[in-house]
Amino acid sequence: MNLKQPCLHILAQLGDLVINIHDSDFSKPSDTLSNSTLGQHLRHTLEFFLCMEEGSRTGVINYDKRGHDKLIESDKAIALATIGRIRTFIENLDHGAPLKLEVGYDLHKDTFVAVETNVTRELVYNIEHAVHHMAIMKIGLKEIAPYISLPFDFGVAASTVRYKQNEHASHRN
């Protein structure tokens, strides 16, 4: 299966959300989300893709070293431009390229362990990570921007979509 299509679908959904949410709601803190904003969750999600883009050039991905760019989380135009940049990266991606993933779990030191990975595996991770944060964003949207209508599969794993479709089909028979 081509992993580019589900990834581009996710990016399209995120782009639609950014287009449709009011500017003030994009960066409004949500009580439900422990005072984080929808823009912060979007930025966090996009920056993982940006780390992957950088890593595909250098051969090393480190998600801990993302930028925390406040403009992505507060300026809808910059968020949309970032989504466009990521779309272009994904469309031109070489799935087979080997990579190293640096991970650091020491709470007291910035030390990292290098793990062998590849572009395909990291794309899978980014898709799963995006779906997870989209589910969180969906919860915040109910509080902050209930006027937003989301597609049924926004923030829902593909396996869950298939399960619900099969369940619905079996109830009709």
Task: Write the pLDDT tens digit of every residue in 45-85.
Answer: 999 999 999 999 999 999 999 999 999 999 999 999 999 99
Q: Looking at residue 1, what is its pLDDT?
A: 55
In this predicted structure, the answer to whether residue 165 has a pLDDT above a threshold of 90 is no
Task: Write out pLDDT tens, residues 94-128.
Answer: 877 899 999 999 899 989 999 999 999 999 999 99
Which residues span the domain enclosing 137?
Answer: 4-172
Query: Which segment of 19-28, 115-124, 160-169 scores lowest on mean pLDDT?
Result: 160-169
CATH code for the domain of 71: 1.20.120
Residue in 139, 49, 55 with CA at minimum distance from that of residue 99: 55
Q: Which amino acid is at 60?
A: V
In this predicted structure, the answer to whether residue 27 has a pLDDT above a threshold of 90 is yes
Q: Looking at residue 56, what is its pLDDT?
A: 94
Residue in 118, 143, 116 with CA at minimum distance from that of residue 3: 118
Q: What is the pTM of this model?
A: 0.92
Total domains in the fold of the chain: 1
**Residues belonging to the chain:** 173
